[in-house]
């Protein structure tokens, strides 16, 4: 190949190399431009801007992409330009939620001033509405109209500022104060000055309450709920409206508005505040009206009970949760105590003692029924268990009011058995705790009244039949509770079975003492005690032998325990209280039975162990 051909080939190679270098440079430049555009978009998303404006490059960042048609950019050589889709507004706003905490200046300037300003507006409107006529500045109709128009204008301005000019605390405060002022204006116009009919006033109040609920839920604003809705609840008190059914209806509408917000927002403070503000107004109305309108008072109590129940657990009913809030439990309990106590008081004051007790039992049944039905619906087990617990507590009070003697013991024992069954079906261990509490109440009542422990084992009981019924039902309920406690620790079932067996032994003991104490041939206080010691010794020995034969530890321990109690009785009580002959009989009988028990224990235990007894 001559030099001319070699030179041409070298020149072509140089041109190709230059083309390749230019193409690679163009591709690299295009890739750099694309990375720059992606970095700017990510920065805008993090700042929650969502606009297409190109920010100025910061030091250390990639250079901005060259403009259309700029030198050095080859559209044909580089890769195709890919446009990243613009994020949805909701996604762009989501990044803005992660904001730094406000410093003191932002807190004082942006929020505290807004809260104080809104509160000042509400108080100013209230003072304007209740201003004395003697001042003679403005007559009542003009005063109310100006307050209503001014509050409406403030509401519209706040809505415009929040939706169009930025979501500021000042706009929220304006809306919240306008809601409270509107409610106060309608209440004053209806109840204070009689300017509009109650039907029209309640209709306007319902519209204001619905608007407040919608705004608080849509904006998720605690300020609107606190200042607007709680201010509306306070409106009847602030404008000094007279206590009447219409005034109570105004407050109930505001309470319904708060309840509607609580269905969508998990705000504990709103539920507690609504209860604390509304309950005194309800109590005052009931106190002033139950004498003439007893049926209406009870109906109103039921309605408010339902509102407070929804306020306490409404959010959990809409969005089932695993754990129940402490505030919800406290509000449910306070609601039950208030409504039950008020209903019982007004019925008892009117001389309806049976109706008062029935009221307590019906509310208890309502709580239990609501809790049981919740286990098969959207309600969580936590709420169902809490409702059942409140209902059973009320039922205990109701039974104590309605019954006495063994009938009360029977009622509490049935409650214990029911709670054990519910705990077994639901798997909630707290039901067993409630059952144990009812059984403890029954045992205390028996030992204090039906079969007094201080005298029953020495002198017998006044009414053996009543004591027998109470002890037998208690033993049956305790065995039933132990039967449904198979998921509980073994010690729990052992205690329940021991209590049931002890009740039966105690029943037989007082029957022996009562029968021998009434025998004319028996020496008072002597023969019954010897017979009682013998009965306990024989029963303990039989239980011990049965436990050894069947290899049942429960009977062995129960028998040993009863023998131990017998030994203490003989050495402490019989030795000091019985005459010589009866004392001798007690010791001899006890000694023979203890020897028999020791012999049986050794023989059976060693035989069970595979060894021969000596």
C-alpha 260/C-alpha 265 separation (Å) is 9
Together in a domain, 324 and 388: yes
Tell me: do 366 and 437 sit in the same domain. Answer: no
Which range is most confident: 35-39, 94-98, 604-608? 35-39
Q: Do 457 and 534 sit in the same domain of this protein?
A: no
pLDDT in tens, 17-48: 555 555 666 667 777 777 777 777 766 666 55
The string of pLDDT tens digits covering residues 365-420 is 888 888 877 666 566 677 777 788 788 888 888 888 888 888 888 888 888 887 88
Whether residue 58 is predicted with pLDDT greater than 50 in this model: the reply is no
Which of these three, 512, 538, 556, is where a domain ends? 512
Q: Is residue 1 part of a domain?
A: no
In a shared domain, residues 356 and 467? no
Please check whether residues 479 and 451 belong to one and the same domain: yes
Asked if residue 121 and residue 268 are part of one domain, the reply reads yes
pLDDT, position 177: 84
Whether residues 278 and 398 fall in one domain: no
Per-residue pLDDT tens digits for 128-177: 655 644 455 667 777 778 788 888 888 888 888 888 877 777 778 888 88
The alpha carbon of 398 is separated from its chain's Cα centroid by a whole number of angstroms, namely 23
Helix (H, G, I), strand (E, B) or coil at 346: helix
Q: Is residue 84 part of a domain?
A: no
- Examine the fold and report which residue of 479, 512, 545 is the final residue of a domain before the chain moves on: 512
Least confident of 54-63, 178-187, 589-598: 54-63
Of the two residues 428 and 515, the one the predictor is more confident about is 515
pTM of this prediction? 0.60
| Whether residue 542 sits in one domain with residue 439 | no
Q: What is the pLDDT of residue 98?
A: 42
Give the model's pLDDT for residue 470: 92
Q: How many domains does one find in the chain?
A: 5
If asked whether residues 170 and 128 sit together in one domain, one would say yes
pLDDT for position 610: 43
Condensed to tens digits (0 to 9), the pLDDT of residues 567-595 reads: 998 888 888 888 778 788 888 888 888 88
- Enumerate residues 6+ apart whose C-beta is below 8 A from 25: none
* Domain end position, chosen among 375, 402, 429: 402
568 assigned to some structural domain? yes
pLDDT value of residue 614: 42
Q: Is residue 600 part of a domain?
A: yes
In sequence order, what DSSP letters do the residues of 56-118 get, joined into one string? PPPTTSPPPPPPTT-TT--TTTSPPP-PPPPPPHHHHHHHTTS-PPP-HHHIIIIIIHHHHHH
Q: What is residue 522's predicted lDDT score, i.e. its pLDDT? A: 55
Domain of 35, in residue numbers: 17-66
Residue 414 near residue 477 (C-beta atoms within 8 A): yes
For residue 73, tell me if it sits in a domain.
Answer: no
Same domain, 472 and 581: no
Question: Distance (Å, rounded) from C-alpha 378 to C-alpha 320?
Answer: 6
pLDDT at 285: 93
pLDDT in tens, 299-351: 999 999 999 999 988 887 777 666 667 778 888 888 998 999 999 999 999 98
Same domain, 242 and 143: yes
Q: b/e per residue, 595-610, with b = 16+ CB within 10 A?
A: eebeeebeebeeeeee
The answer to the question of residue 412 being in a domain is no
Q: Do both 539 and 507 map to the same domain?
A: no
Q: Is residue 534 part of a domain?
A: yes
Q: Is the pLDDT of residue 56 over 60?
A: no
Phi and psi at residue 84, to the nearest 5°: -75, 130
Rounded to an integer, the average pLDDT of 290-303 is 91
Residue 541 burial (10 A CB sphere; 0-12, 13-18, 19+): buried
Average pLDDT, the chain: 78
Q: Is residue 300 part of a domain?
A: no
């Amino acid at each position: 190949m001559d030099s001319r051909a070699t030179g041409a080939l070298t020149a072509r190679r140089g041109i190709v190399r230059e083309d390749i270098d230019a193409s690679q440079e163009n591709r690299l430049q295009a890739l750099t431009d694309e990375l720059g555009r992606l970095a700017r978009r990510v920065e805008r998303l993090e700042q929650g801007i969502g606009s297409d404006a190109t920010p100025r490059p910061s030091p250390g960042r990639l250079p901005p992409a060259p403009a259309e048609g700029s030198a050095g950019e080859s559209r044909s050589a580089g890769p195709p330009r890919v446009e990243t889709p613009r994020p949805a507004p909701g996604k762009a706003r989501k990044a803005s939620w992660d904001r730094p905490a406000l410093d003191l200046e932002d807190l004082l300037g942006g929020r505290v001033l807004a809260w104080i300003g809104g509160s000042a507006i509400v108080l100013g409107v209230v003072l304007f509405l209740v201003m004395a006529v003697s001042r003679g500045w403005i007559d009542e109709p003009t005063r109310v109209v100006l307050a209503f128009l001014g509050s409406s204008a403030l509401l519209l301005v706040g809505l415009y500022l929040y939706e169009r000019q930025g979501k500021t605390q000042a706009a929220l405060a304006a809306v919240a104060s306008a809601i409270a002022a509107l409610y106060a204006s309608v209440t004053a116009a209806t109840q204070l000055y009689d300017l509009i009919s109650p039907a029209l006033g309640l209709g306007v109040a319902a519209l204001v309450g619905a608007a407040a609920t919608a705004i608080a839920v849509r904006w998720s604003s605690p300020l609107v709920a606190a200042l607007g809705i709680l201010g509306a609840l306070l409106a009847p008190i602030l404008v000094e409206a007279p206590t009447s059914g219409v005034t109570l209806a105004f407050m109930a509408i505001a309470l319904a508005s708060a309840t509607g917000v609580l269905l969508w927002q998990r705000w504990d403070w709103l539920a507690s505040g609504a209860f604390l503000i509304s309950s005194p107004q309800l109590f005052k109305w009931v106190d002033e009206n139950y004498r003439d309108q007893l049926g209406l008072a009870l109906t109103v109590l039921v309605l408010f009970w339902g509102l407070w129940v929804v306020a306490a657990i409404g959010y959990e009913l809409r969005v089932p949760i695993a754990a129940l809030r402490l505030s919800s439990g406290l509000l449910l309990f306070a609601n039950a105590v208030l409504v039950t106590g008020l209903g019982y008081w007004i019925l008892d004051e009117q001389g309806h003692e049976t109706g008062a007790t029935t009221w307590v039992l019906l509310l208890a049944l309502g709580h239990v029924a609501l809790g049981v039905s919740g286990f098969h619906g959207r309600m969580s087990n936590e709420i169902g268990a809490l409702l059942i617990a409140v209902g059973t507590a009320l039922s205990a009070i109701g039974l104590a009011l309605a019954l006495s003697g063994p009938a009360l013991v029977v009622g509490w024992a049935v409650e214990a058995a029911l709670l054990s069954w519910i705990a077994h079906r639901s798997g909630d261990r707290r039901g067993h705790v409630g059952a144990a509490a009812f059984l403890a109440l029954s045992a205390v009542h028996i030992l204090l009244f039906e079969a007094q422990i201080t005298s029953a084992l020495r002198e017998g009981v006044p009414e053996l039949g009543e004591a027998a019924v109470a002890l037998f039902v208690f033993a049956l309920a305790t065995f039933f509770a132990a039967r449904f406690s198979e998921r509980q620790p073994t010690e729990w079932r052992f205690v329940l079975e021991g209590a049931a067996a002890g009740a039966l032994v105690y029943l037989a003991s007082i029957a022996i003492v009562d029968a021998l104490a009434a025998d004319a041939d028996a020496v008072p206080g002597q023969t019954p005690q010897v017979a009682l010691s013998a009965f306990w010794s024989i029963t303990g020995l039989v239980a011990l032998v049965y436990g050894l034969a069947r290899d049942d530890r429960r009977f062995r321990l129960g028998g040993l325990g009863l023998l131990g109690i017998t030994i203490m009785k003989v050495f402490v009580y019989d030795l000091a209280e019985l005459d010589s002959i009866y004392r001798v009989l007690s010791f001899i009988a006890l000694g023979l039975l203890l020897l028999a028990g020791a012999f049986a224990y050794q023989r059976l235990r060693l035989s069970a162990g595979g060894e021969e007894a000596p």
